Amino acid sequence: MDKIWEEIENIISVRQDSKMKINHGGGQLLYVHNGIVGKDFLCSADCEGVTSSFENMTPEEIEAANERNRKVFDGIFGAIRHNLDSLMEISEESYHFESHSHGNDTIIYSLCLKNGEDSIARIKANDGTMFYPEALETVFFNFTASPKPCGKHIRGFGTLGYNKRLPLPGGRSYYFDKEPYLETITPLLKQKGIKSWNFKWTQSDDYDIDSNRYQEFESSERVGSFGPKNAGQTVGTMYFIPREQKELAEALFTSIDSTTLHYTEIHPEQMFRYSYNVKELVMQYTESNNITGLFEGHTGKGNVSTRVFFGITPQGYYVAIADVENNFCIPKEWYKLKSYIDGKKVYRK
């Protein structure tokens, strides 16, 4: 899958994929590599039924932009089709369906690269997607598009993904043991030039996350029916490197990343989620703020975990290590808060 995403990156100059290594339990590792693929043609003010448009562009300029976008989209979908068609030839079983009619598009690829049983089990969903529930390795691409209100332009989105399932020796998973892991990365954070402070982000069950989501939070993860509606607590330490010490920050990110990946390789039986290429993702935000999770270790029964994040702002670079319980929310001002409790903020001096 890396080859397809590299070809897409060569066309649009950015990566739109995420790659993870996961042990959610059940005695198996999962390798997941997914990304969003979209197609959206612009509307102008003279398009029928349009409620928003690019008012600073004439209809002619918009159509010229659409023609450029058409070539980009053709390149992306050409790369996907070429690579998936090649993979179909080496798959144990594959399924491919396309329908194109009056701006309504459906593209479905389902590939069973390697099956886990002698016979191949398959499930076909109502939308035509084919699933291989016992497969050890699969590739899929599901895309749908339809006309916008004007009837002249279309918009569509889909997911391109790869899944690999690797049963572990012994067939069991165990809760993550955070102390030995933290012992491997804590010395890296004690280097000269790195400042630190403690932080606490909490919300009670009476604090409505949904109504405050866009105003107060950078991001949020809900536990749904597996825990309280809103309550959650995040307690940890934030490490900071000033912007002018970029080399130190890059070296630290690289060291923590490689140390964490190595830990998952020698302890695959522990329950965790590791994300690849987080350093490269965060470092792209040269003019704005970003905080992205590198690692999550599931430390016990219920919704409890230890997490590691990389962050960036115009002021500098950050590593956050935190213990999380139940619903997890990152305040918008995460980089300068000492605490955030039900919307009440205490800033770091």
Residue 173 falls within a domain, yes or no?
no
Q: Are residues 60 and 155 in the same domain?
A: yes
Q: Give the domain-ending residue among 146, 167, 188.
A: 167
CA 156 to CA 73: how far, in whole Å?
11
- Residue type at 21? K
Q: Are residues 246 and 297 in the same domain?
A: yes
Residue 172 falls within a domain, yes or no?
no
The two beta strands, 337-341 and 195-203, are: parallel
- Residue type at 5? W
How does DSSP classify residue 253?
H
Q: The whole model's pTM is what? A: 0.90
pLDDT digits (tens, 9 = 90+) for 178-199: 999 999 999 999 999 999 999 9
Q: Are residues 228 and 144 in the same domain?
A: no
pLDDT digits (tens, 9 = 90+) for 320-342: 999 999 999 999 999 999 999 99
Q: Answer whether residue 49 shows pLDDT above 70.
A: no
Q: Are residues 236 and 106 in the same domain?
A: no
Residue 52 falls within a domain, yes or no?
yes
Q: Are residues 145 and 234 in the same domain?
A: no
Cβ neighbours around 309 below 10 Å, total:
22
Q: Give the domain-ending residue among 120, 140, 167.
A: 167
By the 8 A CB rule, do 122 and 93 touch? yes
By the 8 A CB rule, do 236 and 323 touch? yes
Q: Are residues 198 and 342 in the same domain?
A: yes
Domain that holds residue 106: 2-167
Q: Are residues 73 and 102 in the same domain?
A: yes
By the 8 A CB rule, do 95 and 109 touch? yes
Residue 306, strand partner residues: 297, 323
By the 8 A CB rule, do 317 and 243 touch? yes
The model's confidence at residue 262, banded by pLDDT at 50, 70 and 90, is: very high
By the 8 A CB rule, do 160 and 256 touch? no
Residue 331 falls within a domain, yes or no?
yes
CA 171 to CA 26: how far, in whole Å?
7
From 31, 38, 35, select the one nearest 4 (Cα to Cα). 35
pLDDT digits (tens, 9 = 90+) for 106-140: 999 999 999 988 889 999 998 888 999 999 999 99
Give me the number of domains the chain comprises: 2
Q: Are residues 157 and 193 in the same domain?
A: no
Q: Give Dmax (Cα) for the chain.
A: 65
Q: Are residues 75 and 135 in the same domain?
A: yes
Q: Give the domain-ending residue among 167, 188, 204.
A: 167
CA 296 to CA 56: how far, in whole Å?
45
Instruction: Pinpoint the alpha helices (H) of the chain.
Output: 2-12, 59-88, 178-185, 209-216, 246-266, 278-283
Q: Calculate mean pLDDT across residues 191-208.
A: 96
CA 307 to CA 177: how far, in whole Å?
12
Q: Which residue's structure tokens are 């690579």?
A: 83
